[in-house]
Structure 1
Amino acid sequence: MDVLQAEIDTQNELRRDLNWFQLLAIGLGSIIGAGVFVLSGQAAAQYSGPSIIISFVITGVIALLASLSYSELGAMMPSSGSVYTYTYAALGEYLAWFIGWNTGLLYLFSILTLTVAWGKYVVLFVDIVSDYNVTSMIVQAPVAWNEDAERFYVTGQAINLPAIGITIAITMLLLIRIRQTAIVNLVLVVFKIIIILIFIFACCNYVNRNNYHPFFPPNKGSFSEYGVTGMLQACTYVFFAYVGFDSVSTVAQEAKSPERSLPIAMIGSTVVSLLLYIGICTVMVGLVPYELLNSESPLTDVIKATPYGLWLTILMDLGAIASLTTAALMSMLSQTRIFYSMAHDGLLPPVFAKIHSHTTTPWISILICGIFCAVFSGICPVDILGETTSISALITYIFVHITVIVMRYTHKDMQRVFPVPFGSWLIPTVGSLLCILLMKGITKPTGYRFLVWTAIGQIIYFSYGFWHSKQRISIKSEFFASTIEHRLSVATVTEEYVNVAFEPYIATANAENVA
């Protein structure tokens, strides 16, 4: 732990340019995206009905509890490794690798899901503004997934050019200095929040209260179809909407006064997002019956129930595009910082930790991530990966809660600028149990995808990370040095003992020779 703190304080290769307001914008930019603009309507139509409002409240509380634990650890260890570094300090290298690799999955699948959703909204915007029917040959992947048959099928399309285009754009933006990236993100965040507020206050006067009844539609015989259990299933489905406040912790080494600014940004972004989501969902399910919300652009569709013309639809579509842009941008930023920390510890190739001399960004890691995401978002059915992101986030948050509890006992003397309130175990324990409860709604295909990713991680760790770990190499070096030192001391003692033991005999022999 002392070595970690020394590295953070004295060996920081990154530039500290970000203030608390920019960090707050990073959190909001990462959180508000596909979760509310795409998944909210689908969850209401398929699982919960009007009680989607309660689903967003429950998931918001779970995210808020996780942000409290993140805040304590982030203020103690302001490292770009985020939960990977926290786990390394508390639970050791192997579990740190598992959670670091899992967090990489979280951000990677977020990028892919968000860029594909971005492309769909851009196509919708072009259709609204110009009545130009964009050919699906260049806006859809050639392969798709049939959820019912659980198999891939050929779509007959060529490539998803919009997804590739936005991926290249955010990759280029990340290659410049973090300060410029944060400014662009801040502008887009302010823009999308203004549009969300316009939607809420402009449409609330046209809410039909009859659409709120029944608030819990009668269950149709299965766990996920309406009723209270359907509302819980919707919690798992929309939890993706709150993933992203943890992005703030991945830029801790680029933040000014991280001990104060990190808790403000993480908790603040979670609370603001929760309030906005409650307002959006309340208006959305009040404008039209929930059965009509099964759409990839539900907020745009419900505007048709108001007397507002095309202007609000266009504005809402632009807000969705801005939201998905910031969410994808911050997800890629976070993934490259996690991999930077893992490479810094030797668990990934050193190329991921290479810092550009002028921009002070891990530029090779950014390029690798950008190329990978551009290729896969263009040709693969990555839109099925959103739920896999949710399970990754839930497991990550469980580890954060556990780390808080462990470090309260193993590192009692460490200064805690922001301790989790109500003791060392209450909030982390409740937060962990709620995360486990949400994992009950994970589908089998999602579980299989997560296991495949985990298996790939195990192969990489035991074929590379285990043998190149800087901690392991350091331990071996110390062991060999101590062994050599021990052998040298034994040889010295033995030589002295032999000299002392044979000294009388040597003296006698010399006397005889003289005689």
Structure 2
Amino acid sequence: MPEPNTAPSTQDQPTLARAIGPFQLFAYTLGGMLGAGIYGLVGRAAGNLGNAVWLGFLVAMVAALLTGLSYASLGSRYPQAGGAANITQRAFARPLLTWVVGLAVMASGLTSVATQSRVVAENLLRLAGLEGVPAIALSLGFLLLVCGIVLRGIRESMWVNILCTAVEAAGLLLVIAVGIPYWGGVDLWETPSPDGIGISFLMTGAILTFFAFIGFEDTINVAEEARDPRRTLPIGIVTAMLAATVLYIAVAITAVSVVPWRELAEAPGPLAEVMARAAPWVPGWGYVAITIFAVANTALLNYVTASRLLYGMARQGLLPKTLARVHAKRRTPHMAILALLPVLVALVLAGNIGELASATVLLLLAVFTVVNVALLVLQRRKGEAKGGFEVPWPVPAAGALVCAVLLVNRLVSTDWRAPALAAGLIVLILLGYALLRPRVTEEATRIETG
């Protein structure tokens, strides 16, 4: 049976290279989730969950896995660049909704790349002890390096990701290894809640730690470049989420076993504090280096994701067709990659965009809700092709409900500035649609084979 290939099939138009194997998909998903978040998140979570912080990660995994399974099923059905935007158009055939979803995901990725570029620069300055070197220059240099890797090819991007993911995972494994002798020394069910562990406690834990799993959604954007995506993409997403859960739980147990949870919550670098107490012989600069690899990987993966999303939307007709061009030799969407660079430079030069990044997380939760509902619609549509990995309808239904609840919770519990910025981004996205009046082409709802 011919493998689905949605890239343009005309002889004068090169296609994206199918160069990603199952292990690379696993590393891509795992690298997207690990990031640098866990290095600080465990402290904040301990302040609310006490020694039972490990339980928060377990509950969050169940909540996140619902949407992860929906993405795995959709990726096996429609292995196309464009990710959530492509799925939204196929399910609802509403170009305006597709436009909003696509640009919301892209905004999340671009703010992440810009933020991580600045973090890399600041940590490089700390590691090298450089004085007088402007951080902004290092940020822009790093941005150019990432752009060059993504332009070079998907194979090269995957190998860099594997290296960075290995370093990230090794850092967490090192924490676990030095902390295992401390296991069993504390009551892992102790919480700051006078009511103990109940539904409210578990909900709080899930809300706090859910965001440690964000990143799995990036994988669907490279499905068109994967070998046998109907089979390998679901395996990559599910196994990576399970592996991340094991790492997170073990790290959480280790952290509260070595450092009392109240002190852990106050520590500026929770895992660095764990290492300082359990293994003082490990040099302090080690975790600075690991942080650089972690945030660099996040930037790389988000750049890849944003470029494939831009490429996919251009091929749908929602953006200029020039952005759908593929380099004949490198087999990368080079015009989309280059088009993102000036936007990223502007974001880096804008300075602290932390509030903007928080706003895009709200948009991402809304996108998760839409994607889960899209799977429900497509499952019920007669004649819709099945994928290599199908899930029963309660999975996307529960996933949509969980994401909607998390979105509402974030809206009411965060500072007003993040929701206001999210609303502002939506207004700008809608304004862009009104000005450009994009039209979806037939190719947006068609899968070619070849």
Q: Same fold (TM over 0.5)?
A: yes
Q: Where do 1:403-422 residues align within 5 Å?
A: 403-420=374-391
Which digits, 9 at most, give the CA deviation of each residue in 1:142-191, with x for residues without a partner? xxxxxxxxxxxxxxxxxx44433322221111110111111121122223
Which digits, 9 at most, give the CA deviation of each residue in 1:107-134, with x for residues without a partner? 12222333333334334434xxxxx475
Q: Which amino acid aligns with 1:86?
A: I
Provide the secondary structure at the position in 2 that maps to 1:86. helix
Largest Rg, 1 or 2: 1
Aligned in 2, Cα 1:43/1:335: closer, same or farther, shift over 3 Å? same
1:105 corresponding residue in structure 2: 107
Deviation at residue 359 of structure 1 after TM alignment: 1.2
- Which residue of 15, 23, 26 maps to 1:24? 26
Q: Which amino acid aligns with 1:181?
A: S
Q: Where do 1:443-462 residues align within 5 Å?
A: 443=414, 444-462=416-434
Provide the secondary structure at the position in 1 that maps to 2:331. coil
Which digits, 9 at most, give the CA deviation of each residue in 1:405-439, with x for residues without a partner? 1111114452331101xx3x211111111112222
Tell me if the contact between 2:19 and 2:225 (Cα under 8 Å) persists in the aligned partners: yes
1:437 corresponding residue in structure 2: 405
Aligned in 2, Cα 1:9/1:51: closer, same or farther, shift over 3 Å? farther
Which digits, 9 at most, give the CA deviation of each residue in 1:58-93, with x for residues without a partner? 222222111111111111110011111111111112
Aligned in 2, Cα 1:209/1:385: closer, same or farther, shift over 3 Å? farther
- Which residue of 171, 174, 184 maps to 2:160? 184
Q: Write the distance in 1 (CA, Å) between the matches of 2:220 and 2:443.
A: 26
CA-based RMSD? 2.9
Q: Write the distance in 1 (CA, Å) between the matches of 2:8 and 2:337.
A: 24
Q: Write the distance in 2 (CA, Å) between the matches of 1:9 and 1:467.
A: 20
The answer to whether the aligner puts 1:371 opposite 2:349 as a matched pair is no
Q: Write the distance in 1 (CA, Å) between the matches of 2:433 and 2:276.
A: 52
Aligned in 2, Cα 1:291/1:164: closer, same or farther, shift over 3 Å? farther
Deviation at residue 303 of structure 1 after TM alignment: 1.4
1:328 corresponding residue in structure 2: 299
Provide the secondary structure at the position in 1 that maps to 2:409. coil
- Which residue of 349, 354, 361 maps to 2:332? 361
Tell me if the contact between 1:51 and 1:231 (Cα under 8 Å) persists in the aligned partners: no
Q: Which amino acid aligns with 2:246?
A: L
Percent identity between matched residues is 24
1:223 corresponding residue in structure 2: none
Aligned in 2, Cα 1:467/1:123: closer, same or farther, shift over 3 Å? closer
Higher relative contact order (CA 8 A, sep 6+): 2
Q: Where do 1:219-368 residues align within 5 Å?
A: 232-233=203-204, 235-292=206-263, 293-295=265-267, 297-311=269-283, 313-368=284-339
Q: Which amino acid aligns with 1:357?
A: A
Which digits, 9 at most, give the CA deviation of each residue in 1:475-510, with x for residues without a partner? xxxxxxxxxxxxxxxxxxxxxxxxxxxxxxxxxxxx
Tell me if the contact between 2:32 and 2:298 (Cα under 8 Å) persists in the aligned partners: yes
Deviation at residue 233 of structure 1 after TM alignment: 4.8
Tell me if the contact between 2:26 and 2:237 (Cα under 8 Å) persists in the aligned partners: yes
Aligned in 2, Cα 1:58/1:110: closer, same or farther, shift over 3 Å? farther
Tell me if the contact between 1:30 and 1:328 (Cα under 8 Å) persists in the aligned partners: no
1:170 corresponding residue in structure 2: 146
Aligned in 2, Cα 1:193/1:89: closer, same or farther, shift over 3 Å? same
2:173 corresponding residue in structure 1: 197
Aligned in 2, Cα 1:270/1:134: closer, same or farther, shift over 3 Å? farther
Q: 5+ residue gaps in structure 1?
A: 127-131, 140-159, 220-225, 475-515
- TM-score in terms of structure 2 length: 0.87
Q: Write the distance in 1 (CA, Å) between the matches of 2:298 and 2:274.
A: 23
2:16 corresponding residue in structure 1: 14
Paired residues, number: 432
2:79 corresponding residue in structure 1: 78
Q: Which amino acid aligns with 1:382?
A: I
Provide the secondary structure at the position in 2 that maps to 1:164. helix
1:33 corresponding residue in structure 2: 35
Q: Write the distance in 2 (CA, Å) between the matches of 1:454 and 1:229.
A: 32
Aligned in 2, Cα 1:377/1:204: closer, same or farther, shift over 3 Å? farther
Tell me if the contact between 1:90 and 1:403 (Cα under 8 Å) persists in the aligned partners: yes
Tell me if the contact between 1:73 and 1:86 (Cα under 8 Å) persists in the aligned partners: yes
Tell me if the contact between 1:122 and 1:321 (Cα under 8 Å) persists in the aligned partners: yes
The answer to whether the aligner puts 1:393 opposite 2:361 as a matched pair is no
Deviation at residue 302 of structure 1 after TM alignment: 2.2
Which digits, 9 at most, give the CA deviation of each residue in 1:453-494, with x for residues without a partner? 111111111211x344435999xxxxxxxxxxxxxxxxxxxx
- TM-score in terms of structure 1 length: 0.76
Tell me if the contact between 2:63 and 2:206 (Cα under 8 Å) persists in the aligned partners: no
2:134 corresponding residue in structure 1: 138
Tell me if the contact between 1:355 and 1:361 (Cα under 8 Å) persists in the aligned partners: yes
Aligned in 2, Cα 1:377/1:43: closer, same or farther, shift over 3 Å? farther
Which digits, 9 at most, give the CA deviation of each residue in 1:250-296, with x for residues without a partner? 11111111111111111111111111111112212222233433455
Tell me if the contact between 2:9 and 2:15 (Cα under 8 Å) persists in the aligned partners: no
Tell me if the contact between 1:107 and 1:334 (Cα under 8 Å) persists in the aligned partners: yes
Tell me if the contact between 1:38 and 1:295 (Cα under 8 Å) persists in the aligned partners: no
Q: Write the distance in 1 (CA, Å) between the matches of 2:299 and 2:19.
A: 21
